[in-house]
Amino acid sequence: MLKIIVPIKQVVDLSHIKFDDDGVGTIENTTGGEINPFDLNALEVAVQIKDKLGATINVISMGEQGADSILKDAIARGATEAFLLEDSAFKDSDTLATSYTIASTIRKMGDFDLIVCGEKSVDGDTGQVGPEIAEHLGIPHVAYVSKIEEIGEKLVLVSDMDGEQHTVECSFPILLTVTKNINTPRLPSLRDKLNSRKAKVEIWHSDDLISEANINRFGNAGSPTFVDKITLPSEGGRKGKTFKGSDLETVKELTNELEKDEILKGFSTK
């Protein structure tokens, strides 16, 4: 039976975050986080493999107590075991520290065949943790996988590569980052949702990883990067020329402006 690992991240839906003029975000009108939408595609890949070939799926998330709700959600969606990495020592981790901590966790779990990661997170937007985990573990990775053509002894995958699609063959163990186009994640059934409430979430602290890791590489201490400041992108410089009406005359007024401002110059009929 294949052993699959899916790291997932808790995020807050962007529509619930209000940013003030200094770029400080406040979370409003929500009871908690949700699974990063891109990670749902990764989980769906794992669940489809489980349905077809049989597999165990361990989901891992790093975060505070609230994160156990997203892990239970992952169980409702088909994961078999859930692990929460919770410790003040993990706070302020950048992508290097995060990937190191998750890689150490995966080592501690023992053998695995496949790690599936989402393309990126909607809050950090980095998409870097996946391949970093692969490097820490010394295994190959294939990024931007948009299709799994074959899975058995070998894997045949389609990877999106800067305007080309590469069909590649590889074997286990391997880490994949999958695109949002690879599948449409299923919704959990009501029964699975109810059952998942009772599911056990294993909680690991930094001490639990001591055998696999150098604890100085966790959290703030293990993070070379830090955010110095946050600003709102300036909307300044927008011309804000508005016209009212759908008739040809109004459209002419608009195109006159576009012509005058040299916008039309950039158009080329193909």
Partner 1 sequence: MTNNKNIIIIAEQQNSKIKSISYELLSKGKDIAEKTGADLFAVLLGEQLDNEANELIYYGADKVFLYQHSSFRDFDPQNFKLNIVNLVQEQKPDLLLLGASHLGRSLAPRLAAALQAGLSADCVGIEVDDEGNIIQIRPAFSGSVLAYVKTKTKPVIATLRYKSTQSRKRDTSRKGEVITREAETIPSLITILRKQKSGDINLTEADIIVSGGRGFKKADDLSILAELAKTCGGVIGASRPLVDDGWIGKEHQVGFSGNTVKPKVYIACGISGSSQHLAGMRRSDIIIAINTDPSAPIFKIADYGIVGDLYEIVPNLISEIKGRIL
Interacting positions 200-229 with partner 1 (CB under 8 A):
217, 223-229
Contact 199, 79 (CB under 8 A): no
Q: How many residues does the chain have?
A: 270
Distance of closest approach, residue 53 Cβ to partner 1, in angstroms: 21
Contact region with partner 1 (CB under 8 A), list: 57-65, 74-82, 189-197, 241-249: 241-249
Interacting positions 46-85 with partner 1 (CB under 8 A):
none
Is 151 a binding residue for partner 1 by CB under 8 A? The answer is: no
Handedness of CA 139, 142, 147, 149 (dihedral sign): negative
Q: Quick one: 245 exposed, middle or buried, by C-beta within 10 A (0-12, 13-18, 19+)? A: exposed
Name, in order, each residue with C-beta under 8 angstroms of 191's C-beta and a sequence gap of 6 or more.
none
Binding residue for partner 1 (CB under 8 A) from 54, 110, 152, 240? Answer: 240
Contact region with partner 1 (CB under 8 A), list: 2-10, 78-86, 196-204, 243-251: 243-251
Binding residue for partner 1 (CB under 8 A) from 39, 68, 86, 94? Answer: 94
Distance of closest approach, residue 258 Cβ to partner 1, in angstroms: 7
d(CA 227, CA 95): 12
> Is the bond preceding residue 7 a cis peptide, omega within 30 degrees?
no
Interacting positions 120-149 with partner 1 (CB under 8 A):
122-136, 140-144
Distance of closest approach, residue 186 Cβ to partner 1, in angstroms: 15
d(CA 10, CA 104): 20
